[in-house]
Amino acid sequence: MSTTEQPRPPFPPFTTETATQKVRMAEDAWNSRDPQRVALAYTPDSVWRNRAEFITGRAAIEQFLVRKWARELDYRLIKELWACQGNRIAVRFAYEWHDDSGSWFRSYGNENWEFDANGFMQRRIASINDRPITEAERKFRWPLGRRPDEHPGLSALGM
């Protein structure tokens, strides 16, 4: 951790409450679609597996996210806590997006997260599947950015 970086609470070991806070903070950051903001939540040497891609370090994470959001347009994400123990959190998520031809998709997945003592994510393992949907099948219809608090989460949407 750089001397200019501030720790990122909440810290492990996680309770259901603090893990839920961490999940919502991650969701909010990802919905910003700001690669630099998102990358700062990870350790400088963070290790990722995202689908079949292996990524190491913040710079590579930021580059990955730039590519991702150039391809996945009008991206909206919901994350939900699945389980937590110690410095690990398991999350399930879904996000909706369209490509440059206007075809819509809903991507479903699970993530396993591991944090350092300062609250930075040091490992992220993501498994994701994409399902084509029609525009009419979309469920995530808030304005781009943070999901409003009153918008249902995955469980409330029956997902």
The answer to whether the pTM exceeds 0.75 is yes
Domain ranges of the chain: 16-137
pLDDT tops 90 at residue 76:
yes
Confidence of residue 139 (pLDDT cuts 50, 70, 90): very high
CATH architecture assignment, domain 16-137: Roll (3.10)
* pLDDT reported for residue 68: 98
Cα 106 to Cα 93: distance, rounded to the nearest angstrom: 10
* pLDDT reported for residue 108: 98
> How much is the average pLDDT of 45-51?
97
* pLDDT reported for residue 3: 47
Cα 66 to Cα 35: distance, rounded to the nearest angstrom: 6
* pLDDT reported for residue 121: 98
Confidence of residue 45 (pLDDT cuts 50, 70, 90): very high
Of the chain, the end-to-end C-alpha distance in Å amounts to 37
Confidence of residue 4 (pLDDT cuts 50, 70, 90): low
Phi and psi dihedrals of 66, rounded to 5?
-60, -50
Residue with tokens 């994409």: 130
Cα 142 to Cα 59: distance, rounded to the nearest angstrom: 30
* pLDDT reported for residue 1: 53
